[in-house]
Structure 1
Amino acid sequence: MEQPEMIEETQEQKSAEGEQRYLTFWTASELYGIPISDVVQIISMQEITPLPDFPNYAKGVINLRGNIIPVIDMRIRLKKPEVEYTDNTCIIVTNIQDTYMGFIVDTVDQVTTIDPEDITPAPRVSKEVTNHYLTGIGQVNDKVVLILDLSKILTESEFKQVTETALQEEKDDSEN
């Protein structure tokens, strides 16, 4: 599989010792952050091919330079109301477990550095349950950033279902 073009950090963007770089984005009026190391590329919205038997949050697949990439709508996955896509809506392409996956977000905010001491642990949902994909809550100036682990946005079985269906679509396309 050909690798999509990587986002490259400039010298000024490279963080100092101990600091971590995050791509922040807005979804349903909430600011989220993911480690910049997880991001392959940010692309504008494009035609999404819906697939049968995909869960409602998995909108389908896109073809990015010959790579078939499953696309997840973050609003729906995070149980927020679905809205129509705008010119600001974009897809963050990531690499999870050696598989490319796209995440639709309302708009990308910025690449920022968050010091570890500015990140508090994710709150527990109950004594036994912690939000499994929220790794912490960061603060950047006056903004609160919910830090996500995208590899945990989908359960193992959901990840398998979405990626296997996308791989089958890629195989079918190459045979035609």
Structure 2
Amino acid sequence: MTKTAFADTQTPQTELQAEPSDSIETMYLTFPVGSELYGVSIGVVTEIVGLQRIMSVPDVPHYIKGVINLRGKVIPLMDVRLRFGMPDKAYDDRTVVIVLQVNDAPVGLIVDGVNEVLDIPANQIDRTHSFSGSEGRSLVLGLGRLEERVAILLNVNLLVEDDALVPPMMAEA
């Protein structure tokens, strides 16, 4: 089980409240990107930090904005808007970085803000086999039904699977 800490480096963060649950596996951190609501499993979230100085890295896809040095750890940053083919948006005081631990490596997702941690039981998640991309794999894990809203639940392993997330100087180490 991953311990989740919510850190504040530069901007005040929204306090996140989790509803009671017996299992962390049904808990999702939700966040807006554009007009849609997305979610990632809270089990891979290590912290949420304000945007800070981004050091650019050459020869990476356009959606990789660079890296940050977070308390001595170099963390590659992916702009989720750009990863999804959405138009670029200027970062503002609500823009945050969600730091994930995926396949034993930290990765930061730049998102428009964070909403809340929600308990979405499996019986409220519609699987999305029809959205599969290449080789039957999809970035969309499922669609979580929340009263009058729907949260698009992301498969973070596929989202960050691209080798471009590893800066060239780290790939040789």
TM-score (normalizing by structure 2): 0.82
8 Å CA contact 2:63, 2:82 repeated in 1: yes
CA 1:94–1:127: 2 relative to 1, 3 Å: closer
8 Å CA contact 2:132, 2:138 repeated in 1: no
Of 116, 121, 125 in structure 1, the residue corresponding to residue 122 of structure 2 is 116
Aligned to 1:7: 5
Cα deviation code 1:118-172 (max 9, x no counterpart)? 11011514798655110100011211000001111144xx2x3321426269x7x
CA RMSD of aligned residues (A): 2.8
Aligned to 2:164: 161
Cα deviation code 1:78-110 (max 9, x no counterpart)? 111110001000000001110000000001010
Distance in 2, matches of 1:106 and 1:70, equals: 17
Aligned to 1:89: 95
Aligned to 2:81: 75
Q: Point out where structure 1 has 5 or more consecutive residues left out of the alignment.
A: 172-176
Aligned length: 162
Secondary structure at 1:84's aligned position in 2? coil
Q: Point out where structure 2 has 5 or more consecutive residues left out of the alignment.
A: 7-15
TM-score (normalizing by structure 1): 0.81
Identical-pair percentage: 34
Distance in 1, matches of 2:24 and 2:64, equals: 35
Poorly superposed stretches of 4+, deviation over 3 Å: 125-131
8 Å CA contact 1:61, 1:166 repeated in 2: no
Of 28, 37, 42 in structure 2, the residue corresponding to residue 22 of structure 1 is 28
8 Å CA contact 1:43, 1:91 repeated in 2: yes
Cα deviation code 1:31-77 (max 9, x no counterpart)? 00111001000001111001110110000000000000000000000
Matched, 1:101 2:104: no
Of 47, 64, 77 in structure 2, the residue corresponding to residue 58 of structure 1 is 64
